[in-house]
Amino acid sequence: MTDSIAFLQALIQSQSGGEGAVQRLFAEAAQALGCTVETVRYRPGDVPMVGEFASARAIDAGERESVVATFKGRGKGRSVIFFAHPDGEPQLGKMRWRHNPMAGAIHEGRIYGWGVADDLSGVAIMIEGLRQALASGGAPAGDVILASTPSKRHARGVSALLHGGLKADAAVYLHPAESGVGMREIKAFCLGQLDFRITVQGRPPDTNEISHLAFTRQAENPADTIAAIHHRLRAFEEHRASTLRHPLLDHASNLLISHMSVGAPGVHTRIASEGTIEGSFSLLPSEDMKAVQAAVEQAVGQAVGNARIDWVAGVSGAEVPLDSPLYRIVAEAVVRVTGQQPHVNPLHTASDIRNPIVQAGIPTVGLGPLGGDLTQNGLTDEWVDVEDYRRAVRVAAAIIDGWCGIA
């Protein structure tokens, strides 16, 4: 068993002491490698929003902690930020796991653990990648910055660091891809996302009869209004899809209706007073978020005049050109380690690669080992492929050598 696996297991096991224990273990490992370590405390609600928004109740209200470890370059090479998030899902339902979620057990080539794919493996790869780069015999010429920083539930850790002055020539987000291909994929493109809730008012009939069936023509049923809005949104999405183009995408616009609610289940003869429809639109990196919001509002207004649209959250898309120096060096590192040419999956939405790009203009890509059964998706026995994890560590080391140079 390699040290890289042992450190990942230690991170999994440390979670019994909470997120703070994970961060302390990360800080100790970084200091042992010669890094200068800084702990940054912040409140997510205080972080400026650039190219994104979220309702106040969606943002974590408490104080959070990021750990930033910097290995000072020994020359004049380019700098890089590796970042990953130590925070996982609330630890509920652990009894349904077949493997102990806090042990880091290895079985048939997979390592199991709470948050191992989301994103403790990314935290471990930062440390182990730097360890391997240093063990190869030379120190990086440019600065290598490792940031273990909260992300879930709008924790906005990396954005807080960027707005606090963290800078580099490039960034790499280390997180297992959820597309089933592991290290054969590089995240260099992500769609933006607009989440909405539309509420309409109905008008029940003016009657004391328990059944409204005979009085439907004397009322306004919000179900009819919701249906009209749904039809109009679909037409609007089809128009967007026919006019928007991107070379990586077959369809450059998507609408997902996730929830519709009118009345109560099992109540067949009453007209509700209110109805809601909720969902999301995707955005191309080049699109202006406010312009798309205005277009959606116009489309809904054409369907019905009394609808109220609440924009719940939104993030901009982002991309790094495939002919950019960063993508070229990362792709070369993947080929060198895996022997396979990586590809870009354009179907990721709201990936954290967007944060350094949108918030600070820092080119950013993402990659990570094969993993699955994420607790975030309501599944159990979350895992990461052991050999692909080891490949990810070697790729991180190769990125340091290729991007930062060797002194």
pLDDT recorded at residue 71? 98
pLDDT given at position 2: 52
Q: What pLDDT does 116 receive?
A: 96
Mean pLDDT, rounded, of the chain:
94
The pTM score is 0.92
> Do residues 47 and 151 share a domain?
yes
168 Cβ contact list (under 8 Å, min separation 6)? 79, 80, 81, 143, 145, 362
Clarify whether residues 338 and 374 are in a common domain. yes
For residue 80 the two structure tokens come to 């890089």
Do the beta carbons of residue 294 and residue 332 sit within 8 Å? no
Does one domain contain both 308 and 321? no
- CB 176 within 8 Å of CB 337: no
Q: Which residue among 315, 348, 367 closes a domain?
A: 315
Pair 149, 171: CB distance under 8 Å: no
Looking at residue 402, its pLDDT comes to 97
- Residue 285 is part of a domain; what is its CATH number? 3.30.70.360
Contact 139, 406 (CB under 8 A): yes
Strand 274-283 and strand 318-319: the pairing is unpaired
**Tens of pLDDT, residues 111-162:** 999 999 999 999 999 999 999 999 987 899 999 999 999 998 888 999 999 9
Same structural domain, 167 and 48: yes
Q: How far apart are CA 169 and CA 362, in angstroms?
A: 6
User: Domain count of the chain?
Assistant: 2
| Packing angle, helices 19-32 and 3-14, rounded to 10 | 150
| Cβ atoms of residues 60 and 154 within 8 Å | yes
| Shared-domain flag, residues 224 and 156 | no
DSSP secondary structure code for residue 349 in this structure = B
Same structural domain, 103 and 237: no
Predicted confidence (pLDDT) at residue 348 exceeds the cutoff of 50: yes
State the pLDDT at residue 94. Answer: 85
The 10s digit of each residue's pLDDT in 263-299 is 999 999 999 999 999 999 999 999 999 999 999 999 9
3-state secondary structure of 252: coil
Task: Please tell me the number of Cα atoms within 13 Å of 96 on its side-chain side.
Answer: 10
User: Are 181 and 250 contained in the same domain?
Assistant: no
b (16+ CB within 10 A) / e for 83-98: bbbbbbbeeeeeeebe
| Domain boundary residue, one of 281, 315, 349 | 315
Q: Is it the case that residue 1 has pLDDT exceeding 50? A: no
The answer on 28 and 176 residing in a single domain is yes
**CATH code of the domain in which 102 resides:** 3.40.630.10
Q: Which of 19-28, 303-312, 314-323 has the lowest mean pLDDT?
A: 303-312
Domain span at residue 72?
Answer: 3-190+317-404
- Strands 185-186, 343-344: pairing kind: parallel
Backbone angles phi, psi at 180, to 5 degrees: 85, 15
